[in-house]
Structures are given as C-alpha cells and as structure tokens.
Structure 1
Amino acid sequence: MIRFSPIPTETARHYQAGGLDANGMPPEAAVSDGGGNPCRHCLKMIAEGEAMLVLAHRPFPAPQPYAELGPIFLCAKACAAGGGTELPAMLASPDYILRGYGEDDRIVYGTGAVTPTAAIPQRSEALFDDPRVAYLHIRSARNNCFQCRVDRA
C-alpha cells in the first residue's frame, strides 16, 4: 500500500509566513488563473482568482548533487495538508515522471519513467518491491517540477 505525501505543514507555513525559499528569496505573491496551479501542501488545484505563492523548493533534507530544486505553487493562505492513499486531485496531467530515491536521498538509477497518471499507484507499488527504494517523487513530465512524494503506507 502507498501514501501520497505533501510537503510538510511546517514547511508550508514557513513559506506562507513569508519565509525564504530554497534560493534565499521570499515567495512571490500571485493569483491563480485556474489553469493548472497545483498546491504542494493541500494537493489540490488552486482555484481561479485565489491568492497563491510561487517559490523555489528543494524537497530533500539537505543540498547534495541529486537534491533537485525547482519552482512550486502553494496556497497563499494556510491550507490543510492533503495526501492519503487516493491519487491526489492535483495530478491532472496525462502523465508524470515517477522516480525512486534511496535512504541516502539519491536517485535509484533505473526507476525513473514517464508514467500515465492512472498507472501511478500500480507503478509505485512495483517500484517499492525494490529494497533500494525508500520513497518516490512524482514530477511533471514536461517541466520536471516536484509534485508530491509517495511513501509506503
């Protein structure tokens, strides 16, 4: 069984309070156009006209060569953490990159693949059969942006 995990609530609250992002910059305030702004904390699309933040995020515990950094969207107001065993509503594209990482937070080579959205749960289960895989990232298949994490439930 798998669990879809958002960025930690303490991280989201840090950014929502104006805390510096992974580039040492304050988050940029923006307004959602409703066309595809997934919040990495509630794991829902940010509705058209809603305030949001755009910022650089590194979903790893520390910088290292495999610790990718990139842009994410976040609700500007405090939102409830999403996640669970069901595919998050924010995964609205036809496919995503699904990639495994080891306990050392480095890519497990051979695990990354563009995966149809509907197949993410089954592919996740298969990747977790590999004992080298500690967790997975779901990333945009077009821009490589971090979407959410997948853990063993």
Structure 2
Amino acid sequence: MALHYIPMPDDDAKRLRGGGLDAYGNQPEQRISDGAGVPCRHCLRNVDSGKSYLVLAYRPFASVQAYAETGPIFLHADECPAYDEYALPPILTSSKEYLLRGYGNDDRIVYGTGGVVAVERLPERAEELLARTDVAYVHVRSAKYNCYQCRIEIA
C-alpha cells in the first residue's frame, strides 16, 4: 500500500498568495520566518529563516458543514512547488507525534479513528485507517494545537 501525502491544492495556494481571503474572510497576514516551526502546507517543507510566509485560517474541505474544521496554517508567501512525493513529508519529521483522523466519503469524521500517534508509527497507522472500507482519507494534524498538516490517501 503506497501512501500519498496531499498538500494544499495549487488553486488554493495561488488564490491566497494573490490576495484572496482566508476561510474567515480575512486577508492572510504576512510574516518573516525565524526558521523554526513554520511548516508550509503547500510544499510540506518548513519556511526557511528570513523568508516571507502567510498566516491564515484554512478549511481543508469543499463545503461548510459540522465536521469542516477551520484553523490556522502557514504558507510560503512566494510560490513553491506542491509536495508530490510518497515519502513522509519534511514537515512531519519535526514533531514527536501527530493526530491522525479518518474521514468518510461524506467528509465526516469516522468515529473511533482519531488518535495521537508517534511519528515513527504515522505511516503504519495511516495504512491501518485507510484499509477500512469506511475511511476515504486521513487528516494529519498537530498533536499539540490541532492545526491541519496534510491529507493522506492511498496512491
């Protein structure tokens, strides 16, 4: 089973960098990275020290509904290539653990799938969840702050 780590879509990144509004209707805030803990949700790499990034509210769902969580994320202010690899993304190697949660085709949480997982077990747990017939995809979130990191599907 090959896991596909899916970043923020190109269209979303382009729109937000071009002055588009975030999930709460606000302009993204521009900041300068200190090089620590600023994971870009498009390239799935950390924003280097001295580089500009955006802080914004993001909802990684197609529609607004009860399970469509919105939260803060970071995005390179300048264009960066979307992550398109099958290895664990660089931003998922900077913490000891992450929250994984399975979602059905209806974009609703599949109860019993959520839990904090050590980074070493992240691929294994994602495979376990994606082997279930009721789980269409998995979200990876920060274990400390619940911030959305990326989506995982079967390639």
Q: Do both proteins adopt the same fold according to a TM-score greater than 0.5, normalized to the shorter chain? A: yes
Q: Does structure 2 retain, via aligned residues, the 8 Å contact 1:43–1:83?
A: no
- Structure 2 residue runs without a partner (length 5+): none
Q: Which residue number corresponds to residue 27 of structure 1? A: 28
Show CA shifts across 1:31-64 (max 9, x none).
Answer: 1111100000000000111000000000000000
Identity %: 51
- Structure 1 residue runs without a partner (length 5+): none
Q: Which residue number corresponds to residue 9 of structure 1? A: 10
- Superposition CA RMSD, Å: 0.6
Distance in 1, Cα, partners of 2:144 & 2:122? 16
Distance in 2, Cα, partners of 1:54 & 1:73? 5
Q: Secondary structure at the match of 1:19?
A: coil
CA displacement at 1:84 relative to structure 2: 2.1
TM value normalised by structure 2: 0.97
Q: Which residue number corresponds to residue 100 of structure 2? A: 98
Q: Secondary structure at the match of 2:90?
A: coil
| Runs of 4+ displaced beyond 6 Å | none
Distance in 2, Cα, partners of 1:37 & 1:118? 21
TM value normalised by structure 1: 0.98
What amino acid is aligned across from residue 16 of structure 2 in structure 1?
Y
Show CA shifts across 1:1-54 (max 9, x none).
Answer: 211000100100001111000000110010111110000000000011100000
Q: Which residue number corresponds to residue 116 of structure 1? A: 118
CA displacement at 1:151 relative to structure 2: 0.8
